[in-house]
Structure 1
Amino acid sequence: MDPIASVVIPAHNEEAVIGAGLAALLGASEPGEFDVVVVANACVDGTAGVAGAAGVRVIETPVGGKAHALRLGDAACRTFPRFYLDADVELSTKSARALVAASKRPGVLGCAPVPVLDLERAGWVARRVHRVHDLMVRPTRVLAGAGVYVLDEEGHARAFPVPDVLSDDGWVHGSFLDGERVSVPEATSIVRPAPTVAAYLRRRIRVRLGNRQLASLGRPVSLSGLRLAAVGALVRSRQVSSLDAACYLTVLVLDRALTAFRRPGRARWGTTRK
């Protein structure tokens, strides 16, 4: 059968997780339903071998960097819509089909699933921080932070080629107006956030530096959901506890202090699971 969508998966040393991600995506699919391209970039592990064993196309490059991998995979795609899926994120066949359907709605140029946080490996403090942060960004997240976004042909022309930015999903999100990008409640992605506070801080530094970079390129990211008043509102509405809020605010202070001493050029894209 002709594929209903192409899927680009940039992967840097993802041997431990990419098999599970491909199994989730393809497990209930028909043969040839999805045109999947894994771009193993600067890998020193068995990422390419695991992906190849799953029956998908694999491109290997010695050049690291997610944006470069996205461009390589995108050039090899055979159809639209196109998925851009993080290697450590799980998206089921059912959710992928729902996203394909959503991408065909009139006026929709980009869409993404609703991310579900898997906090099983997260520490006690990190779990509370993630809980608060997720609630704060949920109303405005859409294409950023779900671990996957989907573009139709018109949306692709608007957002690609992705430049060498720290936040590719932020760049893509900023390429569209509110009505052109939608979150699809019928689709979910399993996202495993940083399991420790240290790992969370490393990721937040990259996010903040990435946001500065996008602003300098004319694609500013709205941070209205991250105001301190929003934390208080969550406590008053009993969506989070006072202890949750205290953990989040303490880590937020560290986050901002550390970011103040970093420059965008010093950050690198990579995994945050360690």
Structure 2
Amino acid sequence: MTGPLVSIVVPAHNEAAVIGANLRRLLEGTTPGEFDVIVVANACGDRTAEVAAEAGVRVLETSIPGKVPALRLGDEACRTFPRIYLDADVELTADSVRALVRACERPGVLACAPVPELDLARVGRLVRRVHRVHDRLIAPMRALAGVGVYVLTEAGHARVFPMPDVIADDGWVHASFGPDERVVVAEARSLVRPARTVKAHLNRRVRVRRGNRQLAGLQRAHAEGGPGLQRAHAEGGPGLGSLAALLRRREVSPVDAACYLSVLVLDRTLSRVRRDRAGWGSDLSTRSALSMD
């Protein structure tokens, strides 16, 4: 090899507990220099930077908090294309990385992502049922969002970067490409660790909804001739009809569906209260509550 096969940016904020094992898993079976891995430890108060350095990767430290600034900083240090942007708490193997790189060589592909698998081993019973239903609802439309990993070719990178200060970076990336330009790579898998409690799940849903509203604003700005997404493709989230279809096909149980709907009602109620306090936008329909995660 004359250079790395791929560059991988890993933004990390206080991830010392998991980043060492995830990096070792990522590099297992690779040859020296095959992957160009950059961990960006942003505003960390733990040993994230030290643990990452011990794993043998490049480490950048910054006092600036936030995932998007960390992504931009790591991106500037990359040595090659394609580029993978990997959440620090998500597990990705070397074989999956190679499959993603091969997918980027297909004609017309500008971005891709692996198939996510949920690690529910330490998740509470109720929220486990919620995750089970939610994952099946959004699976047909998820593509680059909610996977913990996305990959950009050089041409795809030119469309996405420099990335603006968005809440949902994966949503921004997903909406920047048409369905014929982004692919889900069946041979690649990412292991995602979802929220373990109902409280954590609800807090995540609030953030997701804020990110969706921000992206919708950028889409409107683009439609009006201002800066925004270059090729935004509006895609509605699944509704209650999709949940009914899962029940008919017996992909989820009635108990799973009941738990999901109970937490959804709580989610909508809390979001409405927080929206009123913070002056958020008004779209809190059932459809938006079921939107992409």
CA offsets per residue over residues 39-85 of structure 1, 9 Å max, x none?
00000000000000111110000010000000000000000000000
- Structure 1 unmatched runs, 5+: 266-274
From the superposition, tell whether residues 221 and 179 of structure 1 become closer, same or farther in structure 2 (CA, over 3 Å). Answer: closer
Aligned equivalents of 1:19 and 1:264: distance in 2? 40
Identity of aligned residues (%): 64
Deviation of 1:259 after TM superposition, in Å, equals 2.0
* 2:244 alignment counterpart: 232
- Secondary structure of 1:131 counterpart: helix
Residue matched to 1:269: none
SS of 1:137's equivalent in the other structure is helix
Q: Tell me, yes or no, if structure 1 residue 162 matches structure 2 residue 174.
A: no
Q: Which residue of 2 aligns with 1:270?
A: none
Corresponding residue number in structure 1 for 2:289: none
Question: For residue 214 of structure 1, what is the amino acid of its counterpart?
Answer: L
Cross-structure match for 1:271: none
CA drift at 1:225:
3.8
| AA at the equivalent of 1:205 | V
Aligned to 2:124: 123
Q: How does 1:241-256 map to 2 (within 5 A)?
A: 241-256=253-268
Displacement of 1:134 after TM fit? Answer: 0.3
Q: Distance in 2 between matches of 1:66 and 1:225?
A: 25
Give the drift of 1:224.
Answer: 3.2
Q: Does 1:150 align with 2:148?
A: no
Counterpart AA for 2:262: T
* TM-score, normalising length: structure 2: 0.88
8 Å contact kept, 2:117–2:191 = yes
Task: Provide the rounded CA distance (Å) in 1 between the counterparts of 2:45 and 2:63.
Answer: 10
Do residues 16 (structure 1) and 17 (structure 2) align? yes
State the distance in 1 between where 2:180 and 2:186 align.
15
Q: CA 1:91 to 1:71, structure 2 compared with 1: closer, same or farther past 3 Å?
A: same
1:181 aligns with 2:193: no
Q: Which residue number corresponds to residue 64 of structure 1?
A: 65
The CA deviation at 1:223 is 5.7
Alignment partner, residue 77 of structure 2: 76
The residue type equivalent to 1:51 in the other structure is: A
Closer/same/farther in 2, CA of residues 237 and 264 from structure 1, 3 Å limit: farther
Q: Distance in 2 between matches of 1:257 and 1:152?
A: 41
Q: 1:130 & 1:102 partners in 2: Cα distance? A: 28
CA deviation vs aligned residue, 1:98-136 (integer Å, no higher than 9, x gap): 000001110000000000000001000010000000000
> Number of paired residues?
265
Equivalent-residue separation in structure 2 for 1:90 and 1:138 (angstroms) = 19
Please name the residue that 1:45 is paired with: 46
The AA in structure 1 aligned to 2:209 is R
The CA deviation at 1:253 is 1.2
Any residues of structure 2 matched to 1:76-155 within 5 Å, and which? 76-155=77-156
Shift of 1:226: 2.5
Rg: which structure is higher?
2
SS in 2 for 1:51: helix
- Which residue number corresponds to residue 204 of structure 1? 205
Contact 2:20–2:51 (CA<8 Å) still a contact in 1?
A: yes
What is the rounded CA distance, in whole Å, between the counterparts of 2:24 and 2:55 in structure 1?
8
Query: Which SS does the other structure have where 1:189 is aligned?
Result: strand
Counterpart position of 1:171:
172
Question: Where in structure 2 are there 5+ consecutive unaligned residues?
Answer: 220-228, 281-293
